[in-house]
Structure 1
Amino acid sequence: MSIKGKVVIITGASSGIGEATAKKLAKEGAKVVLTARRKEKLNKLKEEIEKDGGLAMVVTGDVTEKGDFKKIVSQTLEKFKGIDAIINNAGLMPLSYIKNLHTDEWDTMVDVNIKGVMNGVAAVLPTFMEQKSGNIINISSSAGRKYYPGGAVYCATKAAVKMFSEGLRQELAPKYGINVTSIEPGFVATELTETITDDEIKKDLIPMVKDLTTLEAEDIAEAIFYALAQPKRANINDIYIMPTDQKE
């Protein structure tokens, strides 16, 4: 159960699950590549990791831009001479009721939550296929399994990530030795809810979660570490992790 020396790219590393995962993996000996759009936060995280004896590099980028991913991969290969895993974590959750037609937010969720994951996979895949190894970890959600009010588009994007992950596993694992995992958390205490602009959702969501003890980002980081630390022969397909208090 060791990931010492592995090179891991983490998208959305500036906060939440991405930040917690970077700290956890660096503590376990991985070389972490921190990417997001907020350079100041990434640099601060890098300093924290290195202060604790870890190794990190920062490459800013937007997951919706294929060119940015090419830069991330090329700089990673230049510095660390390899890539062992990518964690496609960047995502948005501006929940809204369909009738309110927040169509710009729908587009953004599709671009970040689905296309961002696909861009990340496409960027690392040539390296993984050539070396016949690698881990692709995609952050889906329990929302990818079951719809909840206000989540039609968000749930759809996370269902797409879950199914894309299964397709990747079936096509890539047996032939190229590339392991693929879909991580599917329930409610997690992160910045995601701060992107909600629909006033009706805000009113309805607060009572739903106010008495709920949510998961913490560190819980998801532990699940990611578990998937990464398995021997190559073992592919952890899905990790479905819910708050104990959450009914559905």
Structure 2
Amino acid sequence: MDFKNKSVLITGASSGIGKQSAIEFAKLGADIILVARRKEKLDELANELEKFNVSVLVCPCDVSNKEQVKEMSKAVLEKFDSIDILVNNAGFAIYGSVKDLSIDEIESQMETNYFGMMYCIKNFLPSMLEKKSGHIVNVASVAASFGLPGIASYCASKFAMLGFSEGLKHELYDTGVGITVVSPIMVRTDFFDHPSFEKMPKYSPTSLSSKTVAKAILKAANSSRLEIIVPSVVRSAVWLKHTFPFFINPIIGKSFKKQLDSIK
């Protein structure tokens, strides 16, 4: 897909992967719809994107609130009729054991990470199907394939995203609308600024830049694949986990459980 004059909506656009994705799409001439809760951050980014001479629409919205998503989608579709690319990037994690996290903390992750994606798809998919074109990019995580202690509720939301995307991909066969999941390893963003991560090491030596993931998102917007894992070498680890779970799961579980126990 040539991105020039294409409309790209990005959730979680105020920082990190979402912000960098907006910049990368704008560099290629796409019109950008910025969606996040923090209007001041979106306005700052919109000003930054002016240099690319593209149309930018700022839409403050909490994607976990289905009524806000409904109103946001109305405003977007009034201006653009339909969007060409939907990037469901909004998401966060709260670190802690299931026994220590409150039900509200567990639910909040599912509401933003999974239901927020679903609300956006439900509101924008009909117009994509009507014009028989478009692509949905869901930003998940390698945690969509590994259930890890300390982030069980986050993993659940990303497992759900991947499963939903796979089922929807089958439904979209031969409609002209595509869907691809981008699943990165740890990324150097403000994702880990949540107080629950305070006692954890910030980033591993193998962590990715937001620009690396943004480039993968652009690739995904043109891809027929279900999932793009970043970096691609990690796909072998996912294959091993699914092929030899009795061997791999205990190793991973012990490693992450040790980390969880060490901060109590």
* TM-score of the superposed pair, with normalisation by structure 1: 0.88
Question: Could you list the per-position Cα deviations for residues 218-248 of structure 1 after superposition, in whole angstroms to 9, with x for gaps in the alignment?
Answer: 11110111122x3xxx512111013989x87
Per-residue deviation, 1:196 = 4.1
Q: Distance in 1 between matches of 2:56 and 2:165?
A: 27
* TM-score of the superposed pair, with normalisation by structure 2: 0.83
Higher RCO (CA 8 Å, separation ≥ 6 residues) = 1
Kept in 2, the 8 Å contact 1:14–1:36? The answer is: yes
4+ runs deviating over 3 angstroms? 242-245
Tell whether 2:117 aligns with 1:117: yes
Equivalent pairs counted in the alignment come to 236
Tell whether 2:69 aligns with 1:69: yes
Give the AA of the match of 1:187. Answer: M
Larger gyration radius, structure 1 or structure 2? 2
Q: Distance in 2 between matches of 1:172 and 1:116?
A: 20
Tell whether 2:167 aligns with 1:163: no
Partner residue, 1:187: 186
Q: Distance in 2 between matches of 1:224 and 1:55?
A: 20
Partner residue, 1:9: 9
Give the AA of the match of 1:215. Answer: L
Bigger CA drift: 67-76 or 44-53?
A: 67-76
Per-residue deviation, 1:170 = 0.5
Partner residue, 1:46: 46
Per-residue deviation, 1:101 = 3.0
Secondary structure of 1:214 counterpart: coil
Partner residue, 2:213: 220
Q: Distance in 1 between matches of 2:204 and 2:127?
A: 46
Q: Distance in 2 between matches of 1:178 and 1:243?
A: 24
Q: Distance in 2 between matches of 1:235 and 1:242?
A: 18
Partner residue, 2:56: 56
- Stretches of structure 1 that go unaligned for 5 or more consecutive residues are none
Q: Distance in 2 between matches of 1:133 and 1:2?
A: 13
Q: Distance in 1 between matches of 2:157 and 2:35?
A: 21
Please give the residue correspondences for 1:25-36 in structure 2 after superposition, counting only pairs within 5 Å: 25-36=25-36
Question: Could you list the per-position Cα deviations for residues 49-71 of structure 1 after superposition, in whole angstroms to 9, with x for gaps in the alignment?
Answer: 01233321101111012222222
Give the AA of the match of 1:195. Answer: H
Per-residue deviation, 1:155 = 0.7
Kept in 2, the 8 Å contact 1:215–1:243? The answer is: no
Q: Distance in 2 between matches of 1:82 and 1:210?
A: 38
Q: Distance in 1 between matches of 2:204 and 2:59?
A: 38
RMSD over aligned Cα atoms: 2.0
Please give the residue correspondences for 1:136-147 in structure 2 after superposition, counting only pairs within 5 Å: 136-147=136-147
Q: Distance in 2 between matches of 1:227 and 1:244?
A: 17
| Alpha carbons of structure 1 residues 210 and 157: separation in structure 2 relative to 1, 3 Å | closer
Tell whether 2:113 aligns with 1:131: no
Kept in 2, the 8 Å contact 1:26–1:56? The answer is: no
